Chains A and B, each alone.
Chain A
Amino acid sequence: MIELVLDVNGAERSARVPPLRRLLDVLREEFGLTGTKEGCGEGECGACSVLLDGELVNACLVPACQAQGAKVVTVEGLARPDGTPSTLQRLFLERGAAQCGICTPGMLLAAQRFIDLGATPTDEAVREALAGNLCRCTGYSKIVEAVIEAAREARR
């Protein structure tokens, strides 16, 4: 067992866990942050995407021992401090980019990382940035539209 200490959405959290416990399970079961979803559990679907030290990762593939001291951002950390939705989240709502919602937290994190990098939000670039996140409702067009719009607003 290891004493895992990490920064989750700006707050220090700790847990005593087996070193190979998945970051996904630590977030959901130890910290109660169930916004991060489990889809395939093997890095294929992106439902569990979170930011780990600023990098997009699949939380199902990261063992606890490799998250020691890291800064993690989950979907719970995307809203503004006053609890209102971020620009990206608001545009997901306005553009109908969320259907059943299971892929949405991962999509938001993958999209947020793309926006943070500041690249030109072409259709192709956004689709590549989201290529590891599967939406089984197949609502990709609305998602891509929302991300392009959010990226444009961020660049203004």
Chain B
Amino acid sequence: MISRIPVTSARSLPEAYALLEKPPPGLRVLAGGTDLMVQLQARVGLERIGHVLDIWGLRELRFVDRAEGLLRLGALATYGDLRDSPLVRERLPALAELSREVGARAIQSRGTLGGNVCNASPAGDTLPLLIAAGASFVVGGPRGERRIAADQFFVAYRRTALAPDELFLRAELPELAPHERLVYRKVGTRRAQSISRTLLALRGGALGGRLAGVRVAAGGVAPVPLRCRLAEAALEGRPVDALAVAAARAALEGEIRPISDLRGSADYRREVTGNLLARLLPELAG
């Protein structure tokens, strides 16, 4: 029963850290509730939840700002905040667009960037974009703060590099150079309210006709949101031509590990993810 679960509603970061000094067994952090409330209602794994730390009231974690060439996104920035933020729309329009495709308005009001990151679903919509963008995550707790690269954060299926006494505080995304683009495409059953079957995100640009600084990340096609280093290696320094696209596609299809489930077969996911790469690559160059 949910009524047996103790809840601490923290009003400030120090208050949250006070609980984390000695994290209660089975501690779960509650942000906007769009994942945890579903789990509670479905009574899935309830016995593993010993205590809930509600951080929704930590206003200091709900922000979008810019400092030292970095776009900084607070853990409690909602998808609605990200889609409406003039800063995000100007600096990283792909993130604003993607946030508009997560659930629909009622989910966007509550779902948070930090929740998406810490829930660590392999199909989490923002995760490939954060990895491709070269984001780092700042996490903190009573022992202090540290920085973890987004592509090192997701260590296994739904497991992250967060220690039990740490909270995700913010993501920091390097801004794009003038020749660079950040692009993505999500494939679900429909535009709203759908979970990704596959989602591919690319960052990079062309210098003198050759691809430079290419980063590739995919969601929904491996146990974790995956940085696709083989595809990156096949693209770096190459012009966007049929040969490079074919080589990158073969590399990508080899390194992703999709499964078959109710949202699509492994073969379907591999094929479509390759199609997305072929469709998105010209946008980087252009």
Contact = CB atoms under 8 A, between A and B. Distances in A.
Interface of A: 1, 18-22, 41-44, 46, 49, 52, 55-58, 60-63, 65-66, 68, 110, 113, 128-129, 131-134
Contact of B37 (A46, A63, A132): A63
B2 A18 contact: yes
Contacts, number: 90
A110 B32 CA distance: 19
B110 A57 contact: yes
Contact of B193 (A1, A41, A55, A132): A132
Interface stretch (B99-107, B154-162, B203-211): B99-107
Given A20-B7, A56-B106, A62 B193 contact: no
A19 B104 contact: no
A56 B104 CA distance: 10
A66 B106 contact: no
11 contacts: A19-B9, A20-B3, A43-B107, A46-B106, A56-B109, A57-B109, A60-B41, A61-B110, A63-B30, A63-B33, A131-B191
A22 B41 CA distance: 9
Chain B interface category by residue count: 20 to 34
B192 A60 contact: no
A42 B7 contact: no
Given A19-B9, A22-B41, A62-B110, A110 B2 contact: no
B40 interface: yes
Contacts of B5: 18, 20
A20 B52 contact: yes
Contacts of B110: 57-58, 61-62
A134 B193 CA distance: 10
Residue from B5, B34, B52, B105 whose CB has the most chain A CB atoms within 10 Å:
B105
Contacts of A132: 103-107, 192-193
**Pairs A-B, 6 closest by C-beta atoms:** A132-B104, A131-B192, A18-B3, A19-B7, A55-B109, A131-B104
A85 to B, nearest CB: 23
Contact of A43 (B40, B57, B106): B106
A58 B2 contact: no
B105 A66 contact: no
